[in-house]
């Protein structure tokens, strides 16, 4: 059954092949999980989403939970359309987990669920104060790294989704591995994986779901280039 479209419009990602797959972009306010194993391009895809937004005047927020900005930037392709001034002038704001802790009231001795909720409140303040339209959390796995309670983890993710919808902020949330409980709550799921062919590993992308969009569910071979992410239908690429 085809999903009903929201009336909130589309966030055109600016990643041409992805926008075609999504039939015009991500519905505004959607929380999209970008999940997969190591080396599949999750961080690169999410960062390009922010850079493409900055190019059209949409401010972005990058929440880094596991590595410093310098290391993250050194590990993604050097996009020809990216200028470090985007970070210097605030078009892309980078916040590390330690900074969120300060905004949320310090490194409090509270349970992971409460800490996650306070982090979300702090994120909401940043979105409101700076007019953020796009957000990336890299990664949610580290955001709730000490939380083994799946019920509490889903509660935190659900609260984040509600905040984003209320603020009309569209987000990509990077998640290591595949977690069905997270997929159920998210508005969208983009799965990145590896496919071995003749001794080489191909990066594969598939949009599992996207609420409010009539999207393709086909698999695509992904190339991460300095010109951005390129996607070719798997069958056309002869990668069987």
In a domain, 3, yes or no: no
Give the range of the structural domain holding residue 193, as residue numbers without chain letter.
10-233
In a domain, 240, yes or no: no
Least confident of 88-97, 144-153, 167-176, 205-214: 144-153
In a domain, 1, yes or no: no
Q: Residue 143's pLDDT is what?
A: 74
Average pLDDT in the chain = 89
Task: Count the domains in the chain.
Answer: 1
Number of alpha carbons in the 13 Å side-chain half-sphere of residue 33:
26
In a domain, 52, yes or no: yes
In a domain, 102, yes or no: yes
In a domain, 56, yes or no: yes
In a domain, 35, yes or no: yes
Per the model's pLDDT, the better-predicted residue between 38 and 236 turns out to be: 38
Q: Residue 239's pLDDT is what?
A: 46
- The yes-or-no verdict on residue 169 having pLDDT over 70 is yes
pTM to 2 decimals? Answer: 0.90
- The yes-or-no verdict on residue 109 having pLDDT over 70 is no
Q: Residue 150's pLDDT is what?
A: 73
CATH number at residue 125: 3.40.50.300
- The yes-or-no verdict on residue 171 having pLDDT over 80 is yes
């Amino acid at each position: 059954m085809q999903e009903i479209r929201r009336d909130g419009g589309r966030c055109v990602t600016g990643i041409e092949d992805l926008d075609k797959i999504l039939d015009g972009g991500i519905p505004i306010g959607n929380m999209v999980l970008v999940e997969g194993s190591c080396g599949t391009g999750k961080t690169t895809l999410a960062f390009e989403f922010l850079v493409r937004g900055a190019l059209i005047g949409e401010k972005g927020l990058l929440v880094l939970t596991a590595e410093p900005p310098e290391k993250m930037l050194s590990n993604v392709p050097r996009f020809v359309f990216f200028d470090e001034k985007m970070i210097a002038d605030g078009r892309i704001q980078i916040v590390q987990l330690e900074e969120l802790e300060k905004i949320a009231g310090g490194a409090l001795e509270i349970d992971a669920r409460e800490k996650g909720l306070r982090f979300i409140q702090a994120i909401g303040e940043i979105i409101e104060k700076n007019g953020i339209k796009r957000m990336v959390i890299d990664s949610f796995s580290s955001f709730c790294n000490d939380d083994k309670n799946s019920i509490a983890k889903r509660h935190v993710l659900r609260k984040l989704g509600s905040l984003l919808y209320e603020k009309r902020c569209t987000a990509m949330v990077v998640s290591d591995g595949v977690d069905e409980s997270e997929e159920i709550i998210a508005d969208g799921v983009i799965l990145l994986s590896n496919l071995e062919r003749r001794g080489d590993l191909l990066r594969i992308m598939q949009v599992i779901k996207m609420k409010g969009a009539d999207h393709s569910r086909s698999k695509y071979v992904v190339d991460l280039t300095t010109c951005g992410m390129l996607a070719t239908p798997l069958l056309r690429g002869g990668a069987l």
